Amino acid sequence: MSAEIQTVKQIEKPITIHPVWYKLKNNKMTWIGFVIIFVIILTSLLAPVLTSYDPTKIYIVEKFQGPSGKHWFGTDEVGRDILSRILYGGRLSLGMGVLAILITAAIGIVLGTISGFFGGYIDQIIMRIMDMILAFPTLILAMALAAALGPSLQNAMLAIAIVKIPVYVRLARSETLVLREKLFVKSAITFGIHPVRIILKHIVPNSLSPVIIQATLDIGDAILMIATLGFLGLGAQPPTPEWGAMISIGWKYLLDFWWYPTFPGIFLFMSSCAFNLIGDGIRDILDPKSNS
C-alpha cells in the first residue's frame, strides 16, 4: 500500500539463515518430526549393531514368541525376530519411499519447466499425458502398474514414482509460468542465452521451494503406498523384510499374536506422520504465502 511499509517489510523479508532458524525454533511439531525420522534412520542403519538376529533366518522352534527380553517385539510365524525385521525393513521402506519421490520430483521438474517455458505443442502434449495419469485413482493405477511390471519392491517404487509425476509437473509448470514473466528471465532471453540454460539457472532454482515442500509431504504418503503394495503382494516379496509385507502376513494372526502386525504398523504410522510434520514445517519456512 505504501512505500514505507514495503521498505520495512524488506528489512524482514530476505530469507537468510536467521529467519529460517527463527521460524524453525518455534515450530515444535517439526522438531518432533525430525527427531522421529532421525531415530528411525539411525536405528535402521545401525541394525546389525543393535540386534544380533538375521532378519531372514528361519528358526521355526521359536515361532510366535511374545515380546520378551530376548525378542523385544516378539517373533513371527517362522521364528524370525520382528524387531530386527523392522529395523532392516526400515532401510527398504524409507529408502524406497524417498527414492520414489526423488525420481518423481526430478522428472516432474524437468517436464513441468519445459512445459511451462516453451508452451505451445510441447505443453499440450505433456499436460495431456499428465491428465491421462490423473484420470485414474492414484493407488489403483499404482497397483495396475506394479502388477504389470511384475511384483517386486523396485517395481512398486517405480509405479509410485510414475503415478505421482503429474502433481510435480503441474507445480513446476505453474511456477514457471509466473517466473517466465519476471524481468530477470526476460532479461536473460534478451541476452540471447540458450533456453535450457535459462531453465537450469533461473527457473529451476526459483521454483524449487514449493516442489521441496510437496516432496517432503509426499514421502510419508509414498512409504504408505509401498507398504500398501507390499500388503497386497505387489511389492517386496518374501522373505524380504518390508513393513507392508510384514503387516500383510501378520494381520491374519492379529487376534492371537497381536505383536506381529502391530509393531511394523506403529513404525509405518510414525514415519509417515513424521514426514508430514517436517513437510508442514518446511512449508511454513519456505512458502511466503503462509507467513503471518
Partner 1 sequence: MIDIHQVRKTFKTGAMKIDAVKDTNLSIQQGETVGLVGESGSGKSTLGKMLSGLETPTDGMIAYKGIELWKKKKFKRLRPGEIQTVFQDPQSSLDPRMRVKDIILEPLLALNSKERKEKGKMERLIYLMKRVGLKEDHMNRYPHEFSGGQRQRIAIARALITDPQFMILDEPTSALDISVQAQVLNLLKELKREKNLTYIFISHNMSVIRYMCDRVAVMYKGKIVEIGPVQSIFQNPKHPYTKILLSSLPSLFEETKEKINFSHPPSLSSESACVFYQKCPLRQEICLKEPCYQPASENHTFSCHLQ
Partner 2 sequence: MLLEMKDVSVEFTGMRGSVQVLKNISLNISKGEILGIVGESGSGKSVTALSILRLLGNNAKTSNGEILFNGTDLLKIRTKEIQALRGKKIGMVFQEPMTALHPTMKIGRQLAEVIERHRAVSKKAAFRLAVQALKDVHIHDPELVAAKYPFELSGGMRQRIVIALAMAAPPDLLIADEPTTALDVTIQAEILNLIKELNNKNDTSVLIITHDMGVISQLCQRTLVMYGGEIVESGSTNGVLKNPKHPYTKALLNALPDLADPAQPLQAIPGEIMDLRHRPNGCSFAARCSIAGEYCRTHQPALVEILPQHYTACWKGEKEQND
The contact set with partner 1 (CB under 8 A) reads: 10, 13-14, 182-184, 186-194, 197, 201-202, 205-206
Q: For residue 72, with 0-12 CB atoms within 10 Å meaning exposed, 13-18 middle and 19 or more buried, which class applies? A: middle
Residue 135 binds which of partner 2, partner 1, none (CB < 5-8 A, kind-dependent): none
Instruction: Provide, rounded to whole angstroms, the least separation between the CB of residue 7 and partner 1.
Output: 9
Which DSSP string corresponds to 40-52? HHHHHHTHHHH--
Among partner 2, partner 1, none, partner that 19 touches (CB below 5 to 8 angstroms by kind): partner 2
Which C-beta is closer to partner 2: that of 4 or that of 256? 4
- Determine the Cα–Cα distance for residues 193 and 185; give it in Å rounded to an integer: 10
| CB 2 to partner 2: min, Å | 3
Q: Give the nearer residue to partner 2 in terms of CB position, either 237 or 291.
A: 291
- Specify the residue, 22 or 184, whose C-beta has the smaller distance to partner 2: 22
Q: Give the HSE-up count for residue 76: Cα atoms under 13 Å, Cβ half-sphere.
A: 30
Q: According to the binding rule CB under 8 A, does residue 49 interact with partner 2?
A: no
User: Which residues lie closer than 8 Å to 265 by C-beta, 6 or more apart?
Assistant: 243, 247
DSSP tag of 290? G
Q: Which three cell numbers stand for residue 146?
A: 506394479
Closest CA to 44 of 101, 80, 96: 96
Q: To the nearest whole angstrom, how small is the minimum distance from the Cβ of residue 9 to partner 2?
A: 8
Residue 182 interacting entry, from partner 1, partner 2, none, C-beta within 5 to 8 Å by type: partner 1
Q: Which of residues 4-23 bind partner 2 (CB under 8 A)?
A: 4-8, 11-12, 18-19, 22
Q: Rounded to an integer, what distance in angstroms lies between the CA atom of residue 191 and that of residue 197?
A: 12
Rg (C-alpha) for the chain, rounded Å, is: 23
- Contacting residues toward partner 2, per CB under 8 A: 1-8, 11-12, 18-19, 22
